[in-house]
Amino acid sequence: MSRTAEPVVVIVPGLRDHVEEHWQTLLANRLTEAGRAVRTVPPLTQDQLSRGARVAALDTVVKEIAGPVVLVAHSAGVITAVHWSERHAGQVRGALLVTPPDFEKPLPEGYPTPEVLDENGWTPVPRAPLPFPSIVAASSNDPLGSVERVTELARNWGGRLVELGEVGHLNPASGHGPWPRAEELLRELEQS
């Protein structure tokens, strides 16, 4: 793929938005330093739990990009991207969807309840095939979504499942910062 054909990488964070030591933030920094165009969906200042507001924020970022994009989503960012793709997707070449949570079952203490998630438009989670290629990365010990549920979602979305092993929710709280495999999976996605 030539440099001019490289899509803009759009980072879609989860509900906790931007965390400096999170692999998405570190990936965005590495790609930018390497000369890649990267945009990150900005944190919400109001309606922070609203699925509609998060989908609108993603749509605003993508509409500002003239050429192709590839989405890199984590956690609730995956669910945001999937909801967004129901109405938009023309310029998306692919999506790396990492450790999607299971919003249809109770999450651990400290996270929104299924009722609150439903009230804010997160459920039901879309199950239709995505209109672009995707790689769905699953953890075997994610407290927010079982590997069985993520496997089911990957199948529904038409994505290629990549099992990561025991990486928790692949975030700083589970002991993860840099995640070099993200760049490898991103390259694979862009070459598909």
Query: What proportions of the chain, in percent to the nearest 5, are helix, strand and coil?
Result: 35, 15, 50
Residue with tokens 């692999």: 23
Q: What is the pLDDT of residues 132-177, one digit of tens each?
A: 999 999 999 999 999 999 999 999 999 999 999 999 999 988 888 8
Distance CA 22, CA 43 (A): 14
Would you state the pLDDT for residue 5? 66
Would you state the pLDDT for residue 1? 38
Would you state the pLDDT for residue 191? 85
Tell me the pTM. 0.94
Question: Is residue 12 scored above 60 in pLDDT?
Answer: yes
- Which strands make up the sheet holding 160-163, listed edge to edge? 38-40, 8-12, 69-74, 92-98, 134-138, 160-163
Question: Is residue 46 scored above 90 in pLDDT?
Answer: no
Q: What is the pLDDT of residues 55-107, one digit of tens each?
A: 999 999 999 999 999 999 999 999 999 999 999 877 999 999 999 999 999 99
Would you state the pLDDT for residue 19? 77
Would you state the pLDDT for residue 89? 76
Number of other residues whose CB lies within 10 A of the CB of residue 70: 20
What the block records as the tokens of 137 is 């990365």
What the block records as the tokens of 21 is 């030591």
Residues 95-122 have a mean pLDDT of: 95
**98 forms bridges with which residues in the sheet?**
74, 137
